[in-house]
Amino acid sequence: MKKLKKTILLITTSILLCACPKDENGTRYLTFVNKSEKRIDFQLHFLNGYITYEDTQIQCEKLVFGVYSDTLRRLSAGTHSYWENEMKGYLHLQILVIDAIYYDKYVSAPCDTIRKYVPVLHRYQLTLEDLQRMNWTVVYPPEE
């Protein structure tokens, strides 16, 4: 039964990834796929220029998105916008992948406590060209 569930999930994921709408103006969705065995959360940061230590930490005032094991999450660009437009003026889109269990535990704590106890599992630093090459699909854990 578990194999059947995974097979259906992989087929559904494949169909969704192949059907990512891209029109003449750009890409509307960024897809994040969690192929790990646990639920993770992630956070997006647009960065321009020199990256500081502060840039590589969880930004407590920004949204955090959750993704269950073996599922995906599609993020829409801004209303009536495209990801290419969202990236204008920025060199990188940084994605911090964090442990969802720890984040749930400390979500109401002060920011310094969250940064201390919620581990960043992986940090992606992607350019517009990287995202286009990846067909606007980011996979965790990273595929070699």
pLDDT at 11: 54
pLDDT tens for each residue of 43-78: 999 998 777 767 788 999 899 999 999 999 999 998
H/E element holding 117? helix 111-117
Global pTM exceeds 0.75 = yes
Type of residue numbered 127: T
CB atoms within 10 A of CB 41: 23
Type of residue numbered 13: T
Instruction: Tell me what the mean pLDDT of segment 85-102 comes to.
Output: 94
d(CA 108, CA 4): 38
Q: Coil, strand or helix: which one is 22?
A: strand
pLDDT at 49: 76
Q: Is the pLDDT of residue 16 over 90?
A: no
